[in-house]
Amino acid sequence: MQRFILKNKNRITLLSAILIATAYISKWTVGNMEVFTWALIIASVIGALPIAIQAYQALRVKVVSIDVLVTIAVIGAFLIQNYEESAIVTFLFLFGAYLEQRTLNQTRSAIKELTEMAPESALKQMENGEFVEVEVDDVDEGDLLLVKTGAKVPVDGTVFSGEGYINEASITGESLPVGKEKDSKVFAGTILENGTIQIVADRVGEDTTFGRIIELVEEAQDSKSQAERFIDRFSKYYTPAVLILAFVVWFITKDVELAITLLVLGCPGALVIGVPVSNVAGIGNGARHGVLLKGSEVITDFSRVDSMVFDKTGTLTVGNPSVSDTIYYDDDSSEVLGYLASIERESDHPLAKAVLQEIGETAFYDVDNTEVVKGGGIVANVNGHRVTVGNVALMEKETVHLSDRALSDVEQLVKSGNSLVLTSVDGELKVLMGVRDQIRPGVKENLHQLKKLGVKNLVMLSGDNQGTVDVVSRELGLTEAHGNMLPEDKSAYIKKLQSEGQIVAFIGDGVNDSPSLALADIGIAMGSGTDVAIETSDVVLMNSDFSRLPHALGLTKATANNMKQNIIIAVGVVLVLFAGLLFSEWVSMSVGMLVHELSILVVILNGMRLLGFKLRS
Catalytically active residues are: 311
Nearest-angstrom CA–CA distance, 293 and 310? 18
DSSP output for 221-246:
HH---HHHHHHHHHHHHHHHHHHHHH
From 468, 461, 471, 443, select the one nearest 505 (Cα to Cα).
461
Q: How many CA atoms lie within 13 A of 564 on its CB side?
A: 9
Q: Specify whether the CB–CB gap between 336 and 431 falls below 8 A.
A: yes
- φ, ψ dihedrals at 503, nearest 5°: -95, 115
From 522, 550, 518, 543, select the one nearest 532 (Cα to Cα).
518
From 537, 493, 492, 489, select the one nearest 511 (Cα to Cα).
537
DSSP output for 490-557:
HHHHHHHHHHTT--EEEEE-SGGGHHHHHHSSEEEEETTS-HHHHHH-SEEEGGG-TTHHHHHHHHHH
Nearest-angstrom CA–CA distance, 546 and 302? 16
DSSP output for 313-348:
IIIIB-SS-EEEEEEESSS-HHHHHHHHHHHHTT--
Q: How many CA atoms lie within 13 A of 463 on its CB side?
A: 11
Nearest-angstrom CA–CA distance, 220 and 215? 9
